[in-house]
Amino acid sequence: MEKINLRAVFEKSGRAVFISHLDLLRTMQRAIKRSKIPVWYSQGFNPHIYLNFPLALSLGVIGRTEFMDFAVTEQCDNEKLVEMLNKSMPEGLKILSVDKPVFENKEIGYAEYSIDFKSSISPKKMLSSLEEMMSMEKIEIDKRSKSKGTVKIDIKPHLNILSTEILPDELRVVIRLPAGLALNINSNVFVDTFSDVSKITFTHICAERTKILCINGQIFK
């Protein structure tokens, strides 16, 4: 059977941010099945729809350009696929485009996030706390690894703050973090570290992943 590899770009927002990574796989498999596109099944004893997500998204984070790899058994019009898939997506999941994959998953190097912080203290004060943290020599956190147990690592060199903006009652931080196989620091790590170091309790946090980039800085696609 022919197998044509494809990569979908999708958005995960609204109530769908509470779908965990494992549940997302099941949810997408079912949505694809309902859509009746000529999807490719794994050829084992117990065939299932082949799906792969190059980069997991943390629970609670909005994804603006997430990726999902699948395959079809015949040549299809990509626009038509998008239309068919979207008819069967549940609330909060939306396919933006479908195309041939360009890069390999292992080429993923960074992800960009836009994070809005809300707290009882003013955005201005939150910003100065952030600046204070970023002026520290080292920002050490405990990171668990399978082989070495818990190790301390300095994440300061990996926190690449691209911009900050003071909104009426929120502080917006746009940050680039390492992602992919070599080193993965998700937005929650940054949020938790900021909270720990600054001793600020955030009443609301809205984080969204806006871009996934290759090691060489190109947009992943």
List interacting residues with another protein (CB under 8 A).
14-16, 18-20, 22-23, 26-27, 29-34, 41, 45-48, 59-60, 88, 90-92, 203-204
In the complex, the smallest distance separating the C-beta of residue 5 from another protein, rounded to whole angstroms, is 19
In the complex, the smallest distance separating the C-beta of residue 120 from another protein, rounded to whole angstroms, is 14
- 88/210 with CB nearer another protein: 88
Token code pair at residue 2: 């022919």
- 52/105 with CB nearer another protein: 52
CA 121 vs CA 165, 173, 174, 187: distances in Å: 15, 16, 20, 21
Token code pair at residue 208: 């969204």
In the complex, the smallest distance separating the C-beta of residue 91 from another protein, rounded to whole angstroms, is 4
In the complex, the smallest distance separating the C-beta of residue 151 from another protein, rounded to whole angstroms, is 25
Strand partners, 213: 110, 219
Phi, psi of 83 (to 5 degrees): -65, -45
Token code pair at residue 201: 């309790």
- 16/214 with CB nearer another protein: 16
Token code pair at residue 53: 């997500």
What's the DSSP call for residue 215?
A: T
